[in-house]
Structures are given as C-alpha cells and as structure tokens.
A and B are shown apart, each in its own frame.
Chain A
Amino acid sequence: MSDLANPPTAAPPSTLRNLVLPILIAIVIFAVVPAVLTSFGRGYFWQIANIALIFVLLAASLHVVTGVAGLLHLGHAAFYGVGAYTAGLLASEQGMPFLVTIPAAAIVTAAIAFLVALPTMRLVSIYFAVATLAIGQMIYLVLLNWVSFTHGPNGVLIFSGLEVFGIDLSSPIATYFLVAVIVSASIVLIHRISHSYYGNALRSLREDDQCADAMGVRTARLKMEAFVISAAFAGIAGALWAHTTGYISPSDFDFAESILILAMVVVGGLGSLPGAVIGALLLILLPEVLRDVGDVRNIMVGIVMFLSILLLPKGLFGEVSALSMIRRQFGDAWRRDENGKGIGWR
C-alpha cells in the first residue's frame, strides 16, 4: 500500500510556493511589458499590446466551451461583436461610463447566448458546429444590416474618452493597464472555472456525455452554462476592443475572426488554458514581428500554424502537461502524491 492509502498526511498548504507563478506573470504583465513599451515610445506598440490581451481573453473564453466542454463553436466572434456593440453604443449614444459598459456588455452577450443556445444545445458534434456557424452569421448580418441601430457598415465611433471614477485613463499606458487588469481578472475567473471539479464535469461532457449523464451530471444544463459563460467573457473582450480602438464595424466580427480565435485555441492546445493564452499571443504577435518581410508574412503565419498542428497535434502546451503544471500550483494542497503534487482541486 502506498502512503496515499493512508491520508490525510496533511502537508501544510504552502501558500508562498503557490504564489510564485502568478507573481511572475503579474510582473511581466504589469512591469516588464509596460517598461519595454515605454522605452519604444510609440503608441502603435501599446495598441498591439492591447489587442494581444483582448485576444488572449477571447481565446481563453473559447477554451471554456470548445477546449474544456468539447463543443466545436464556430461563431464565437459574433458574441465578441455583441459585446463590442453593446459597450460602443452605450458609451457613444447613451454616454454611459466605462465601468458600466463592461458588465453591461457581459450581461447582454450572455443573455443573447442563452436565447440562441436554448434550441441549439440538444445538437451534437458537427451539427452543433454548423448551428453555431449559422448563429454567428445571423448576428453578423444583423450588425451589418440593422443600419438604424448599429449604423451598419459605417460602424460606430466612440468619442467618450476612457474615464474611471473621473480619472482620465486615455493615455496609452493608462489604457494598457486598464485592459491588463480586466483581462487578468477575467483569466483568473476562467482559470477557476476550468481548474475545479466544475471544470472536470465540463471535461466529462467532452469525453463521453452519455456516461456523464449516468453519473448524475446534468449534461444539458452544464453545456448551456459553458456556452453562456464563454459568451459573457467574449462580451467583455468586445467591450475592451470598442473602448481601446474607438471605432467598431461589423467586419471586425466576421467568420474569419471566429476561425482565428479557434486556431489560437487549437494551436495552443485544446483544453489547455495556458495553451489558449500562448496561441493567442503567437497568432497576434507573429504577424507584427514579421511586419518587415512584407505581405509574405501572412503565408508565414499560415506555415507556422500548419507546422505546429502537424508536429504538435496536442498543441504547443497540451492539456495533460498544462493540467499537471496547474495542479502543482493550485491543486488540493492537503493531499499530495509521492512527488508532493496536489491531486484534487480546491
């Protein structure tokens, strides 16, 4: 019998050790990146950093529904668009403050996702994928053609500067910090959802939903929740996009955008949250790094995607290794395996 048969051998929760990784990441996001960008001193780089963060959130939100719960979602960009238009219209036409438009975007997007998911959730595999494709196209066409409400192809200009509690945050560095704080907070929430017993239940839907059903898991309800949670975070990403670019138009949220987000999740590693983050950073930053080589860069990005999926079909940071790393950091600290790894979730 191993020691495990005789728990609890209550190893004291080593809080300090658990904080090493999050602190390192926080230092990179809130100190290293701003310092480097300041030394470049160009507004353009700040905008790239914001876009990268927004796509990190988009990929992380798609990770919940496609990576963890295993539902192939081909219309994610449409929910991103709903969030952007909600925030953009509320700010430019109702004069709503920034801090109100963010939760408003999340709630409106979640509500629309809930309504369209009601009839869709019974569908499985490829049929679900086609249904989400149709939902994405419908939302896109509404944004494009409901001219009196969305201004159609002309898009929406958002003039109201970024203000939080009366403090002007429209300088590049302040905007970056604002985006970074909201994206980081959202990622922490997504991390808790995917790395918990709730997340395990979502994974069981992907593995064998009939079997999960026999265990007592409310499969239909959980799929719905994953879809709605994912949409809510896409809505937040949309609101950040609207506020940081100051201009939104339907073409920002078309099918190609859904596929780009899906590619980030797949290249990074389906089911892996760090993978989704890495995939997003790669596919946003690579074209920028390759800017000097001209139009060939798009082909090069394609080649990188192709090679990564060919050589690493489980992704750059696959689910198994990602989960074991995260478990080491955030796993159930009061019971450990012989290597001192936390096993369950807290």
Chain B
Amino acid sequence: MSDFLTIQNATRRFGGLVAVDDVTTRVDHGQLVGLIGPNGAGKTTLFNLISGFTPLSSGDVHFKGTRLNGMKPNRIARLGIGRTFQNLRVFPNMTVFDNVSVGAFGTHPQSALDALRSGSKRAETISERVWQALERTELAYVATDLAANLSYGKRKYLEIARALAMQPDFLILDEPAAGLNDSETLELANFIRSLHADGLTIMLVEHDMGLVMSVCERIVVLASGKKIADADPDTVRADPAVLEAYLGTDE
C-alpha cells in the first residue's frame, strides 16, 4: 500500500521549548485517527506542522509521496488536505453559501478572466460542490444567512462544510467538540463516522478523550511533545503511560 501521510522525526522548537519532540507516525488511507493529549501536549503544533502553518525545525512530513516541508498552507491544501480551526474561523460578513464557495474555489479556482464570463463551467462546478457540501452538513436551508448570524453549533458545521467543498482526501478536525454539549457532541460523532463511512480519511485532534474513544479506530497520544502511545482505543485506555499523562500524580 502506498504511503498516505507519514511523519518522520518531526520536531518543532519555540526558543527553548520543544513543542513537538521527534514524533514519528503515519496515517493510512481510509483511517479515522485520533490525536489526543493533555493541554500543551503539542497536538495543535503537530497539526500545524502538517498543514504548513508552522515550519518544522527538523524532520519530514510526506503526503501521498510529496514532501510538505516548507510548503505554504495553500499549496498543502491544494494537495488535498482540508482542515478546520479550533477557535471557529468562519468568514463572518459573508453568507453561508459564500463561505463554503471559498473552500470550493481554493481547490478549483476561477481566474479573474473566467469571472468575466457569465455561465462559466468553472462557476457551475463550484456551485455544485457548494450545494453538495451544504446538503451533506444540512446547512442548505440557511444558505443565504450571514455566517455571523449562525448559532455556535451551526458554525462548526459550516467550517466542516467549507473544508468538504475542497473535496479533500484527508480532513483534519481541530477540537470539533469544544464548546458543544453532550447531545451535540453525540450528533457530531455520528456525523464524523458518516464522513468516514463515505471513504474520507480523517484525523481528529481532541483534548477530550470521550469523542475520540467513541469514533476513532486508532489513537495517537502526545504528552509534552512526545508520542507516548499509538494503538486502538482499548489498548490506549489501558496504557499506564497514557493514564499517567492524563491523570498525573496529584489527581
């Protein structure tokens, strides 16, 4: 099987702090992988190393045979990696439809010259992709609402819809359950499972173990920048190193 995402000895230093310390792992095509760890474990930094928002200090990241080191985020995105943001970053003054259209535009751009023509094939493809993503996330009925007017939960789905409109091969969700109540989290878990069932490879970055344990088939655990476990949920749950990292010594 050809390599999908491989991370080799990835290290990121911020001054004296080693946020990600010599992490080696991989994600295979079709997997639904969780990346968990206590606060400050380096999850988001590792995620940013993959998506190009933070440059590697050393090590390598490859996606489908392409080395991602030093690439700009938009180039990595066009290779087929979609992402959402931990702290909800929708385009507030644009409609839901227009928000999602930016995702479709990102991987299927329209040139300024093409925009001058009415009824261009490119625009039609973008429209199609936006509708598909809106239907998939059940946001079609608020398509003309401003993103700023959506509820918090809906905005989460809007971010996912925008990433889906990119038609990515690999989707990374950064703490999607943050700020959701239990029933909303359950609904989200079902939604993530259904995306996976459609054949999308997904990585779920989570602070909270609950969601990850229930949906992921494999879990990578970080603590203080180091990978301390990489196994199926049951093994991870019983791993003494994981328990120590999460529970510490004073709890």
User: Interface of A with B (CB < 8 Å)?
Assistant: 1-2, 4-5, 7, 189, 192-193, 196-201, 203-204, 207-208, 210-219, 225, 229, 271, 319-320, 323-324, 330, 332, 335, 337, 341, 343-346
Contacts and interface: CB of A to CB of B under 8 A. Distances in A.
A215 B106 contact: yes
Contacts of B93: 203, 207, 271, 319-320
Nearest to B78: A216
B126 A197 contact: yes
A18 to B, nearest CB: 10
Nearest to B72: A213
B104 interface: yes
Interface string B130-164: 11001100101101101000000000000000110
Given A189-B116, A197-B101, A4 B141 contact: yes
Nearest to B125: A197
Given A204-B91, A214-B53, A215-B102, A198 B74 contact: no
B77 A213 contact: yes
Interface stretch (B107-115, B179-187, B203-211): B107-115
A332 B77 CA distance: 27
B115 A192 contact: yes
Q: Which 3 A-B pairs have the closest CB atoms?
A: A216-B106, A216-B77, A207-B91
Contacts, number: 142
Contacts of B117: 192
26 contacts: A2-B141, A4-B134, A4-B143, A193-B112, A193-B115, A196-B115, A198-B115, A199-B115, A203-B98, A207-B91, A207-B93, A208-B89, A212-B74, A212-B102, A213-B74, A213-B77, A214-B53, A215-B166, A320-B146, A323-B95, A344-B101, A344-B126, A344-B130, A344-B131, A346-B119, A346-B120
A219 B112 contact: no
Residue among A196, A203, A210, A229 having the largest count of chain B Cβ atoms under 10 Å: A196
Interface string B174-201: 0000000000000000000000000000
B94 A216 contact: no
A38 B125 CA distance: 49
A344 B51 contact: no
B123 interface: yes
Contacts of B89: 208, 210-211
Given A198-B112, A199-B115, A215-B163, 15 more contacts: A4-B140, A5-B135, A192-B117, A196-B110, A197-B123, A201-B102, A201-B105, A204-B102, A207-B92, A211-B91, A214-B74, A215-B105, A219-B74, A330-B118, A346-B123
Contacts of A337: 143-144
A200 B109 CA distance: 11
Contacts of B116: 189, 192-193
A274 B119 CA distance: 22
